[in-house]
């Protein structure tokens, strides 16, 4: 037999042995591949949850109860599953999820196939019979009581009550059900659900957040509202959200607003006005309440007006009152003597005779006269007024007169403003050392030395405490306190820095620029069990402005990048790096999972592996698979102790291309293989490391180490 045929036969024998070892490790698989669309023609995007019960594959492999999640991106579905038509009762339950919820569910019955099957080839209307282990596929109705919380929610929902008529206002009846309001279409509904004829009348209208007419250009001060505020005091005028004061900030005449010069709106400011409008208050229709009859001339209802309601000075004549009893009594009429005293001719002044006048010759003013108010009109140099407890009498006015100065508010002091005596804020003494006085909500000078403190000896200020631990110490020491410090740039910030830290000699150590850049001479961080020291949430695009030494995370490529020598560079990533298992027969000794949407076209996967063989009784082989592709499958002489190697897997748009090198420590020669396989970059993949002892016994093969490294795509120059 020619040497080349002997070599080809050896390779065929090796391939058969490797195939047999892998068949023993997993069941045969059928590929289901299809493109899914929605009814509107757009492609389905979401996930397919594939579930199954335990069954035995056609080659005897046991498939245990489990499930997988398959990503459906842009309508593309591809998954490999063990056939179920070779086992009685086996099937797959598939739930398609999109927009956060299950959209539809279907059953699959998968037949063996060397080529891909479409969904129409595997869909079945109902699950086929019963599964291994006696589990049936019948679908049962779920009682409401078995869904936690459903009965409670159903009990809490509002019920339809009586009467219930479409197009009517809804009210809650006495049983708690929703019913319809009864009555005429023009009636008004009360809080208790009953209806009455609506009371006529009007009220003021309201205008909220109107933008007054006028140019906001840093010079214009005159603005007009669409309507005239009624009353003018109802106007609430805001500039940039700050309520303006009348007349300190503006004045109003009709619907014209004029700002004072100091409050002139600047370019970019926002001016808003809210105010009331007068509405015709003349009511019409049936009167109610204390009135009876109809508008516009209703009458007063019965038992409404009493003596208490009528003023003692009311101009009402007796002829207008329907009296049921006399309205006058002579009990309090003056006596004859008292009547005479009215003329100043007779009568004796006494406690009961108060009807005497200055014309009575028996009366004189030598006793000082009758008592009178200090600020009464009897004093020509006094402004009349009623004295209240605590008042002071002071001289005031251009033409000075004695006048009343009302008592000031609590804790106010009498001070001079250079012209008049006025009540003003007191200049207190006796505050604790380090106190910083301020005016409280009542306008009183106050302090809070425990929360606002100045240490003059050490030149330190404390806010929220008085501990004086640093030049500025911000900490709210209250039990419910929360400390925050904010630095906000001003309207004219420009490129000026927001914050600066200086050394003792004035040298700048660190700063925060107006654009948010933090610059510091050195940075030290420490990772904790709960948080990484540096966390970059990243961006799907690289920053537009880059400098040498920059470092960032690109979420689209799922890789970290740097800027060096004027070029962007990606950083390699160790996906897996571990030891493996060992076997005396045949087994998968290690694996590394590549998640979906992790790789991009142009990426490269580097795989390094080390196998150790113990014993000399049996030949052995190794195998490495990337998804459906076999990177290496080779037989090794029983006298070989160690095999090491590496594979380079290139990712491109339609699949993968690889080259594998391996070599031994003795009789195993240097071996090179290469090939391609279909695998989209967005597809998840499993890298598997196999080992087999061809004649099981005392020999052992062990995967003593393997490494999988991703080198993300990077094009330079660009």
* Rounded CA separation 46/96 (Å): 7
Predicted local confidence at residue 7, as pLDDT: 37
Among 107-121, 333-347, 355-369, 653-667, name the one with the lowest average pLDDT: 355-369
Across all residues in the chain, what is the average pLDDT? Answer: 83
For domain 573-711, give the CATH number. 2.60.120
Predicted local confidence at residue 458, as pLDDT: 93
Which helix (DSSP H) or strand (DSSP E) does residue 11 occupy?
helix 3-25
Query: 214 in the Ramachandran plot: left (φ > 0), alpha (ψ -120 to 50) or beta?
Result: left
Whole-prediction pTM:
0.42
- The closest alpha carbon to 554, from 708, 718, 713, 717, belongs to 713
Secondary structure E strands in 304-426: 392-396, 401-405, 412-416, 421-425
In words, the CATH class of domain 27-124 is mainly beta
- The closest alpha carbon to 32, from 81, 73, 72, belongs to 81
Determine contact, residues 372/384, Cβ cutoff 8 Å: no
Task: Work out the number of other CB atoms within 10 angstroms of the CB of residue 178.
Answer: 13
- The pLDDT tens digits of the residues spanning 392-404 come to 989 888 888 888 8
Predicted local confidence at residue 1, as pLDDT: 39
Would you list the domain boundaries of the chain?
Answer: 27-124, 214-277, 392-420, 438-474, 538-566, 573-711
pLDDT more than 70, % of the chain: 82
pLDDT band for position 680 (50/70/90)? confident
Average pLDDT over residues 513-535: 91
Average pLDDT over residues 405-423: 85
Highest mean pLDDT of the ranges 164-178, 190-204, 703-717: 703-717
Provide the token pair at 646.
């590496």
Residue 102 pLDDT exceeds 80? yes
């Amino acid at each position: 037999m020619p040497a080349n045929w002997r070599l080809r036969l050896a390779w065929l024998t090796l391939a058969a042995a490797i195939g047999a070892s892998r068949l023993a490790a997993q069941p045969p698989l059928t590929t289901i591949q299809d493109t899914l669309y929605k009814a509107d023609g757009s492609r389905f995007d979401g996930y397919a949850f594939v579930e199954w019960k335990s069954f035995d594959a056609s080659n005897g492999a046991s498939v245990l109860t489990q499930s997988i999640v398959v990503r459906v991106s842009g309508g593309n579905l591809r998954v490999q599953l063990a056939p179920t038509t070779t086992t009685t009762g086996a099937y797959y339950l598939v739930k398609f999820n999109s927009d956060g919820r299950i959209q539809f569910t279907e059953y699959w019955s998968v037949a063996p196939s060397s080529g891909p099957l479409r969904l129409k080839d595997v869909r079945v209307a109902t699950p086929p019979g019963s599964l291994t282990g006696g589990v049936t596929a019948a679908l049962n109705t779920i009682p409401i009581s078995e869904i936690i919380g459903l009965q409670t929610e159903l009990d809490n929902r509002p019920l339809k009550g009586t009467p219930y008529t479409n197009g009517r206002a809804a009210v809650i009846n006495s049983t708690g059900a929703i019913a319809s309001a009864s009555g005429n279409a023009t009636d008004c509904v009360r809080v208790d659900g009953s209806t009455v004829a609506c009371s006529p009348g009007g009220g003021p209208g309201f205008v909220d957040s109107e933008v007054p007419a006028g140019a906001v250009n840093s010079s214009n001060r005159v603005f007009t509202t669409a309507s005239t505020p009624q009353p003018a005091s109802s106007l609430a005028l805001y500039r940039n959200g700050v309520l303006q004061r009348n007349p300190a900030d503006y004045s109003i005449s009709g619907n014209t607003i004029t700002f004072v010069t100091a409050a002139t709106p600047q370019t970019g400011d926002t001016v808003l006005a809210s105010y009331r409008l007068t509405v015709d208050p003349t009511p019409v229709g049936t009167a109610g309440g204390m009135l009876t009859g109809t508008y516009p001339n209703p009458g007063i209802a019965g038992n409404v007006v009493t003596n208490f309601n009528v003023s003692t000075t009311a101009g009402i004549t007796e002829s207008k009152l329907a009296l049921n009893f006399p309205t006058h009594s002579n009990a309090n009429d003056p006596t004859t003597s008292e009547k005479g005293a009215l003329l100043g001719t007779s009568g004796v002044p006494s406690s009961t005779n108060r009807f005497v006048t200055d014309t009575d010759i028996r009366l004189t003013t030598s006793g000082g006269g009758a008592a009178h108010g200090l600020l009464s009109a009897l004093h020509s140099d006094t402004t009349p007024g009623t004295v209240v407890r605590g008042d002071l009498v002071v001289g005031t006015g251009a033409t000075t007169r004695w006048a009343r100065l009302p008592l000031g508010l609590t804790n106010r002091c009498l001070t001079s403003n250079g012209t008049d005596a006025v009540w003003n804020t007191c200049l207190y003494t006796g505050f604790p050392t380090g106190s910083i006085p301020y005016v409280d909500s009542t306008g009183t000078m106050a302090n809070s030395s425990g929360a606002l403190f100045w240490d003059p000896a050490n030149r330190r200020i404390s806010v929220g405490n008085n501990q004086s631990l640093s030049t500025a110490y911000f900490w709210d020491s209250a039990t419910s306190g929360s400390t925050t410090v904010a630095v906000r740039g001003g309207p004219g910030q420009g490129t000026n820095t927001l914050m600066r830290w200086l050394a003792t000699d004035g040298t700048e150590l660190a700063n925060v620029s107006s654009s948010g850049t933090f610059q510091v001479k050195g940075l030290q961080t420490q990772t904790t069990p709960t948080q990484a020291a540096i966390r970059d949430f990243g961006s799907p695009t690289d920053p537009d402005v880059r400098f040498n030494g920059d470092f960032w995370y690109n979420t689209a490529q799922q890789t970290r990048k740097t800027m060096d020598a004027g070029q962007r560079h990606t950083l390699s990533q160790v996906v897996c790096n571990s030891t493996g298992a060992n076997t005396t027969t045949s087994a998968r000794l290690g694996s590394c999972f590549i998640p979906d949407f992790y790789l991009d076209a142009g990426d490269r996967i580097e795989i390094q592996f080390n196998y150790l063989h113990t014993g000399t009784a049996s030949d052995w082989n190794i195998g490495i698979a990337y998804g459906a592709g076999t990177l290496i499958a080779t037989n090794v002489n029983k006298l070989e102790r160690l095999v090491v190697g590496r594979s380079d897997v290139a990712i491109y748009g339609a699949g993968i291309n690889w080259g594998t090198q391996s070599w031994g420590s003795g009789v195993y020669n240097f071996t090179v293989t290469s090939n391609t396989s279909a695998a989209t970059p967005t597809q998840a993949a499993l890298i598997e490391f196999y080992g087999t002892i061809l004649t099981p016994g005392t020999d052992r093969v062990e995967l003593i180490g393997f490494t999988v490294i991703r080198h993300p795509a990077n094009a330079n120059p660009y």
